Amino acid sequence: MKIDTAEHSDYMVVSIAGEIDMYSSPALRDTMLSMVKKNVATVIVNLKDVKYIDSSGIATFVEALKKMLAYKGKLKMAQVPDRVMEIFNFSKLDKVFDIYGSLEDAAKS
Amino acid sequence: MDNPIVITIPSHPKYLAVVRAAALLAAEICGLGAAEAEDIKHAVDEACSNVIKYAYKCDCTRKITVKFEDTQESFQVTIEDSGNKARLEDIKIRELDEVRPGGLGIHFIKKAFHIVAFDKKKRNGNRLLLTRYKNTDEAALSK
């Protein structure tokens, strides 16, 4: 798994590529929690190149979301691949995360 | 597929990718569709992650053996370890409506397989038996 972060004027983008599993999710958790620690107002997670996500990856996003909501931050998911979306739907997380078709839509909303 | 396919991995999370690849291919070879094979891959990954977390308490120096079998009626996966005894009822689980980190793995396992059970005859360690029926009528009967 590869993680890139990009800082914009009023939001940050976390782009993830590869597979998110029990092996790689601790690195993702470190990235997400570092943003929580800085109270970043809006984080957009670009999932376009994610090939797989397991329950530990989902748990990482849920944990980050809960911590961000505590300071009224926003966690947005963008460009979610079909298979990852199926997993979000099954886990009923499609109703919890703000999901956007593009980074532009996520940034504008 | 020539039966069975057996792989053994060290109980380190970095080897879960090997199990996922094997599970996907084995499911495809035995004739399951793409979506079903993806569900199988995900379920086997979650089950092996549970072995590392619960049976081996994150000790990465142990072994996990995964066996894939194709029968006329079903696709079966057996996951064996030599760790602490596990019971399905002890594995952390949450309602899907309850949004909190953790507790989802068993849902993915039950989504992919019609029968999920530990072999009570195994004395030391665990043997998880997973069965997916190919015929939906048999699957309905198993419920």
First to last CA, chain A: 28
Look up the CATH superfamily of A2-108. STAS domain (3.30.750.24)
Domain that includes residue B129, residue range: 5-142
Question: What was the ipTM of the complex prediction?
Answer: 0.92
Q: What is the DSSP letter of B4?
A: P
Cβ of A23 within 8 Å of Cβ of B107? The answer is: no
| CB-count burial class (<10 Å; 0-12, 13-18, 19+) for B41 | buried
Length of chain A: 109
Residue of chain A whose alpha carbon sits nearest to that of B52: A22
Query: Could you say which residues from 15 to 74 on chain A have a Cβ atom under 8 Å away from some Cβ of chain B?
Result: 19, 21-23, 52, 54-56, 58-60, 62-63, 66
Cβ of A92 within 8 Å of Cβ of B99? The answer is: yes
Cβ of B20 within 8 Å of Cβ of A52? The answer is: yes
**143 residues of chain B, pLDDT tens digit each:** 668 999 999 999 999 999 999 999 999 999 999 999 999 999 999 999 999 999 999 999 999 999 999 999 999 999 999 999 987 666 666 665 666 666 789 999 999 999 999 999 998 999 999 999 997 655 554 55
**109 residues of chain A, pLDDT tens digit each:** 999 999 999 999 999 999 999 999 999 999 999 999 999 999 999 999 999 999 999 999 999 999 999 999 999 999 999 999 999 999 988 889 999 999 999 999 8
Q: Which neighbouring-strand residues pair with B132? A: B75
Cβ of A59 within 8 Å of Cβ of B16? The answer is: no
Of A52, A62, A87, the CB nearest to B100: A62
Backbone region of residue A51 per phi and psi (left: phi > 0; alpha: psi in -120 to 50; beta: other values): alpha
Give the Cα separation of A64 and B58 in Å (integer).
23
Identify the residue whose tokens are 């966690």: A75
Give the Cα separation of A98 and A92 in Å (integer).
12
Total structural domains within chain B: 1
Query: Could you say which residues from 18 to 57 on chain B have a Cβ atom under 8 Å away from some Cβ of chain A?
Result: 20, 38, 42, 45-46, 49, 52-53
Give the Cα separation of B111 and B127 in Å (integer).
19
Other residues' Cβ atoms within 10 Å of the Cβ of residue A3? 17
* Enclosing H/E stretch for B131: strand B126-133
Give the Cα separation of A3 and B88 in Å (integer).
34
Copy the structure tokens of residue A87: 């997993």
Identify the residue whose tokens are 């053994």: B8
Asked if A58 and A85 touch (Cβ cutoff 8 Å), the reply is: no
Chain segment A26-39, per-residue pLDDT in tens: 999 999 999 999 99
Phi and psi, residue B45, nearest 5°: -60, -45
Give the CATH number for residue B81. 3.30.565.10
- What pLDDT does B91 receive? 64
